């Protein structure tokens, strides 16, 4: 029995596609969530690499910078303003990587009342 990946024959539908760079790293992802009728696979995100490490991710919500420790374990994801969006803790050498959702900073508005006696 011959098998085929032709959608006309087996009703197979592509939901995600990746574009990889010369080093094998994923540089772009396309998926059906952002597609249209004329282009069923739309742009989902792009990855930026520098010195063989993931440096940033550009997606529909903006640019996110990936900061790693000297061993290459991802530790912080920050936005373009330097605000921490997410951080990770782990055991030595990146084992048991655990996400830590940052607490939102309290409001910086200060109420000053003058007392007169």
Domain contains 2: no
pLDDT given for residue 2 in this prediction: 58
Same domain, 70 and 95: yes
In a domain, 88, yes or no: yes
CB-based contacts of 93, cutoff 8 Å, min separation 6: 71, 73
Residue 91 has, within 13 A of its CA and on its CB side, a CA count of 2
Same-domain check for residues 66 and 33:
no
Residue 6 counted as domain residue: no
Model confidence, pTM = 0.67
pLDDT tens-digit map of 49-98: 988 888 999 998 999 999 998 888 889 999 999 999 999 999 888 888 89
116: confidence class by pLDDT, cuts 50, 70, 90: low
Domain count for the chain? 2
Give yes or no: residues 41 and 67 share one domain.
Answer: no
Find the domain containing 95 and state its range: 61-104
Shared-domain flag, residues 43 and 65: no
44 plus 70 within the same structural domain: no
């Amino acid at each position: 029995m011959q098998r085929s990946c032709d959608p006309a024959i087996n009703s197979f539908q592509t939901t995600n596609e990746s574009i990889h760079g010369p080093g094998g790293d994923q540089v772009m992802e396309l998926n059906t969530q952002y597609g249209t009728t004329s282009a069923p696979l739309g742009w989902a995100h792009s990855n930026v690499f520098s010195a063989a490490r993931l440096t940033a991710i550009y997606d529909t919500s903006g640019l996110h910078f990936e900061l790693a420790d000297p061993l290459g374990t991802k530790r912080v994801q920050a936005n373009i303003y330097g605000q921490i969006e997410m951080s990770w803790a782990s055991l030595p050498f990146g084992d048991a990587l655990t996400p830590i959702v940052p607490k939102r900073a309290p409001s910086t508005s200060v109420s000053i009342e003058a007392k007169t006696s």
